[in-house]
């Protein structure tokens, strides 16, 4: 495998209470991790991402940056979603898109998770942290169905337990653990080398459709005025 390319991708979603949880999460990650980390945090449409990157840099030795469209995915890097842009991962590059909100959000955790499942299948690790409502649940199902690893923050310690609870109510997860245990568990997973299997066809198709909607949305909008008739 190419020296710079990660063996695994870790897709992380958080909303309310996420600032503290993400700071603690990245503090657990070991510097020699054979994975790239992608973070979607819902807060507002303002530029929280620079603030988040600044905060996370204080807590980790790993390089941390705002995700850039078309940038190569590098091992041991943390990529944070930009405000108002969906974040998707392909096999080797980052894709950003202006498409419509999903589950009330742009960026959407589900969009990120689904793309990770399609591109990395059983080498995708989904992590849902503190947050309100249920964004992340359908994306996590895609990761589970693709043979990836599903991990949620123990709802008993989450500042806002809705998001982890929603996942737990909809599927069997691999790990429901405290933030303090996540680094060690993730390191263990990334030291394995599962044989790469493609994601199920419907997960691939769903992700492809989402990517088209997200990326081609601006091009579609330019074709003409939107009709009120459908």
Q: Are 76 and 32 in contact (CB under 8 A)?
A: yes
DSSP 101-163: -BTTBSS-HHHHHHHHHHHHGGGEEEEE-S-SS-TTHHHHHHHHHTT-EEEEE-TTT-SS-HH
Angstrom distance (rounded) from CA 90 to CA 167: 24
Q: Is 45 a catalytic residue?
A: no
Identify how many contiguous H helices and E strands the chain contains and give both numbers.
7, 9
Q: Is 98 a catalytic residue?
A: no
Q: Is 2 a catalytic residue?
A: no
- Distances in whole angstroms, Cα of residue 205 to Cα of each of 54, 161, 169, 210: 36, 31, 25, 9
Torsion of CA 42, 46, 52, 54, to 10 degrees: 170
135, 146, 166, 207: the catalytic one is 135
Question: Mind telling me the catalytic residues?
Answer: 15, 42, 135
């Amino acid at each position: 495998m190419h020296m710079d390319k990660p063996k695994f991708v870790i897709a992380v979603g958080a909303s309310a209470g996420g600032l503290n949880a993400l700071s603690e999460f990245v503090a657990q990650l070991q510097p020699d991790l054979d994975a790239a980390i992608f973070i979607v945090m819902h807060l507002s449409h303002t530029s929280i991402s620079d603030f988040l990157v600044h905060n996370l840099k204080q807590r980790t030795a790993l390089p941390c940056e705002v995700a850039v469209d078309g940038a190569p995915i590098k091992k041991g890097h943390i990529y944070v979603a930009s405000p108002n842009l969906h974040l998707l991962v392909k096999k080797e590059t980052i894709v950003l898109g202006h498409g419509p909100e999903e589950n009330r959000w742009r960026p959407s955790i589900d969009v990120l998770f689904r793309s990770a499942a399609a591109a990395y299948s059983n080498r995708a690790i989904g992590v849902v942290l503190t947050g309100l409502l249920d964004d992340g649940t359908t994306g996590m199902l895609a990761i589970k169905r693709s043979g990836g690893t599903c991990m949620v923050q123990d709802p008993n310690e989450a500042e806002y337990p809705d998001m982890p609870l929603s996942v737990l109510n909809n599927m069997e997860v691999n790990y429901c653990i405290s933030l303090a245990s996540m680094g060690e568990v993730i390191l263990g997973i990334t030291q394995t080398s599962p044989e790469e299997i493609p994601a199920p066809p419907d997960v691939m198709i769903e992700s492809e459709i989402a990517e088209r909607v997200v990326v081609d949305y601006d091009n579609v909008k330019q074709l003409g005025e939107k009709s009120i008739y459908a």
